Structure 1
Amino acid sequence: MPQHRSRIAAAFLTRGFAPGETIALLLRRQNPAVTFQRIVPLECALTPRYLCWLAHENASGANIYVAANPLRSCSRKRTKESIAEVRHLYLDLDSDGDARLAALRASDAVPTPTAILSTSPGKYQVLWRVEGFDFSMQESTLKLLSVAYGGDPACTDCNRVLRLPGFFNCKYIPSHPVTVEYTCNSISNPSDFRLDMAAPDTVLPLDGIARQKHQGNRTHSEHDWAWVQHELALGKDAAKLTLALASCRSDKPNPLYYAQRTVDVASAKLWLIEGALIADVIAMLEHRRSFEIPAALCSARAREIAHTAQRMIARRRTA
C-alpha cells in the first residue's frame, strides 16, 4: 500500500475517533464470500504493521470497513448494545448520487457534512460528526435524512459500517479507490438538523434536482403537495388520498411513509388555517393513524407534524 494511502486511512480514523477508544473493522471478501471482524483499540489500528496487514487483505480482494461509532471497551461483537455513543450521522447515496449530493450541499435544512466519501463512481457516503444524540434520536434522524435526500433507507442502525478511505472498493473491475473530502471541522447537534424543512412543500426531489413535473418549474414532490392540498380542500378522503399518492410514488424509499406525511402535514395546515386549536389537530392526527402506527410513535409524530404545519403557516405570514 503506497504511503499516501496509508496516511489517508490513518487520518480518517484519527479524525473520527479519540485516543483510547475501541473501534470495529470489518473485512469482507466476495469470492469466496467470507466476512471477518476485528475489534481493536484505535492505537492498534494506526500502527504501520496493522495498516500494512489491512492493505494486504485489500490487495487480496477484501473490502475494508470501519464502524461509524466507537464501541464499549469490553466489546467482542459489533452489536447495537456494544456501541458506546453516537459519533456520526451518515447517509448512503447509492443512486443518482451526484444530483442528490448537489441537492444536499445546497440545502439549509442540514449542516455542512464533516466528510464525504466517494465509494465508487456516482456513489457517496456522507458523514456528520455529532454530539448530543441518543440512539433513538440518531435512528429517527437517519430515517428522515434518507427520505429527504434519497438515501438508502436500510442504513439507519447505530452499528453501521462505512468504507475506509485509502483502500479500494473491490466490487468493481478495476477496483475503485475510496476517497474522502473533508468539508467541515464543526461538530453538529440535533438542533442543526432542521428536517421539518424537508416537509412536502420543500422536500428535495428524490430523482435529482433536475426532475420536474409538467407544471412550470415544480418538482414532483411540489406537485404532489399542491394536489393533496387541493383534494383535501374539496373534502376528499384522507385515507384514499394516502393510498393514491403512495401508489404513484414508487420512486420513494418508503412510498407509504411519504404519502402519510404529505397528507397529514397538508391536513394539519388546513385545520390550523380554519381555526382549529393545535391540541385538536394533534388529536385528529393521532386518531387518523392510530391503527397504522404504534401508539408511542403515533403521539410523538402527531405533535411533530402539527408544529411543522404551524411553522409553515408562520413562515408564509412573515414572507
Structure 2
Amino acid sequence: MYETVRDFLTRCFASGETIALLLRGESAGAPTQRVVTLDKVLAPRYLDWLAHENRTGANIYVAANPLRPGSRRRTKDCVAFARHLYIDIDTDGDARLAALRASDAVPAPTVVLSSSPGKYQVLWAVDGFDFARQEQTLKLLAIAFGGDPACTDCNRVLRIPGFLNRKYDPAHRVTAEYPCDSVWTPDDFRIDVATVDAMLFEHDVPLRKQPGKHSHSESDWAWVSHELAHGKDAVKLTGELASRRADKPNPLYYAQRTVDVASARLWLIEGIRMDDVITMLESRRRFELPAALCSARAREIAATAQRMMAHKKYV
C-alpha cells in the first residue's frame, strides 16, 4: 500500500512542494486537515499515521494542486499554480470514461483513479494554465463528459490510491492507472462551447427520419417553445425538462441549452436586438458559469437561434 501512495504523490508533486491532506470520516465529525511538505508525508511514520487513520474510518484525500510555501489553509488564494486538470465521474462511469478515452478533444489522461466500483477521478498533468482558464476548462470537461459540476475548484481534493474508500461496506481500495506521463498545455485541450455542444447534441439529429415522426429532442423543442411563448418561467422550465430527460448524458446542460436557444429565438422574433439577446442570456447564467465562458456561450446560442430563423428550422 505504501508504495502505491508514494508512487501517486511523487508523480503528482515535486520534492519540497507544500500539499494539503484532508482526513474525513463518514460520521458527522469535523474533518482533519494537514498542510505539509511532500517529503514529510512520504516519511514512514507519517504514512503509518495516515494508514492508521484510514483503518479506523477516515477517508484520505489530497488537494489536486500544490499550495504556496508557508500556507496554513487550503483556500483558493493559497494555491500556488494549476498543476492538474481533473474530472470526477460518479454516474455511468465506465461508459463515460470510455467516451473520454476515445475523444480527440482531450489528450490521454495522466492518472485514472478508481475511487469505487464504476466511479472515477481522471487527472491530466498540465502547464501554462492560469486559474481562470483552468476553471473554465474544468467546467467544460464536466459538461462534455458527464462529470460532477461541483468539482471545478482549484482547491479541490482527490482520493489517494492505496487507501480505502470507507464510504462502502466492505471498503473499496482506491487504485490508480497511469495511461500517459506527458505534461499537457492549453492547446492540447480542443474543447470549447461549440465542441461541447457538438459532442452532446450530435446524436439528437436523426440520420433517417420517418415521415410524420418526431425525435424526442424535437418534441422537447416544441414543448419548450410553447411554454416560453405562454410566459412559463425559464428556470422552472429548465428543471422540468431536465427531469423529463434523465436519459441524456447531462440532463441539466441539455435542458439549459434547449431553453436558452428557444428563448433567444423567441426574443429575436419579437424584434429584440441581437446585443440585447446576448446580454439577457448572459444574465440568466451568470451565476452558473465563469464570465468568459458565459459570454462566449451567450453569443454562440444567439447566433444559433439566428441561423435557425434564417433556415426556418423549428419555426
Which interval holds the TM-score relative to the shorter structure? 0.7 to 0.9
Q: Select 2:89's aligned residue among 93, 113, 123.
A: 93
Cα distance in 1 for residues equivalent to 2:292 and 2:28 = 48
CA contact (8 A) 1:266 1:309 kept: no
Tell me by how many angstroms 1:171 deviates: 1.5
Q: Which residue of 2 aligns with 1:202?
A: 199
Counterparts of 1:16 and 1:57, CA distance in 2? 22
- Match 1:142 to one of 138, 155, 162: 138
2:294 & 2:282 partners in 1: Cα distance?
10
Per-residue CA deviation, residues 242-284 of structure 1 (Å, 9 max, x unaligned), is 6656522234798665434345568989xxxxxxxxxx85653
Deviation for aligned residue 1:288: 4.4
2:313 alignment counterpart: none
Return the match for 1:52 from 33, 37, 48: 48
Q: 1:168 corresponds to which letter in structure 2?
A: L
Distance in 2 separating the partners of 1:201 and 1:239: 29
Change (3 A) 1:46 1:289: closer
Alignment of 1:108-257 (within 5 A): 108-191=104-187, 192-203=189-200, 244=237, 246-250=239-243, 251=246
Give how far 1:150 is off. Answer: 1.3
Distance 2:292 2:153 in 1: 23
Q: Give the counterpart letter for 1:195 in structure 2.
A: D
Provide, for residues 28-78 of structure 1, a one-character-per-residue CA deviation record: whole Å limited to 9, x for no partner: 223473421111111111122221221122122221111111011111111
Identical aligned pairs, as a percentage? 51
Per the alignment, do residues 129 and 308 of structure 1 end up closer, same or farther by CA in structure 2, a change over 3 Å counting? Answer: farther
How high is the TM-score relative to the length of structure 1? 0.75
How many residues align structurally?
Answer: 293
Partner of 1:24: 20
Unaligned runs of 5+ in 2: 210-214, 266-272, 308-315
Q: 2:286 aligns with which of 279, 289, 293?
A: 293
TM-score under structure 2 length normalisation? 0.75
Provide the C-alpha distance between the structure 2 equivalents of 1:224 and 1:130, rounded to a whole number of angstroms: 39
Offset of residue 217 of structure 1: 9.0
Q: 1:292 to 1:203 in 2, by over 3 A?
A: closer
What is the RMSD computed on CA atoms of the aligned residues?
4.1
Is the alpha carbon distance of 1:120 and 1:254 closer, same or farther for their aligned partners in structure 2, counting shifts above 3 Å?
closer
Contact 2:20–2:34, Cα closer than 8 Å, also in 1:
yes
Cα distance between partner residues in 1 of 2:3 and 2:145: 31
Query: 1 CA distance for matches of 2:153 and 2:290?
Result: 18
Which whole-Å deviations, capped at 9, do the CAs of 1:210-250 have from their partners, x for residues lacking one?
Answer: xx8896799xxxx676667889999x859869665652223
Q: Which amino acid aligns with 1:147?
A: I
Over 3 Å counting, the alpha-carbon distance change for 1:232 and 1:306 in structure 2 is farther
Contact (CA 8 Å) 1:130, 1:189: kept in 2 or not?
Answer: yes
SS at match of 2:242: coil
- Report the Cα distance in structure 2 between the residues aligned to 1:115 and 1:12, rounded to whole angstroms: 9
Conservation of the 8 A alpha-carbon contact between 2:94 and 2:118: yes
Q: Decide whether the 8 Å contact of 2:286 with 2:294 is kept in 1.
A: no
Structure 1: distance between partners of 2:150 and 2:280: 28
For residues 228 and 173 of structure 1, what CA distance do their matches in structure 2 show? 41
- Structure 1 contact 9–166 (Cα < 8 Å) conserved: yes
Secondary structure of the residue aligned to 1:84 is coil
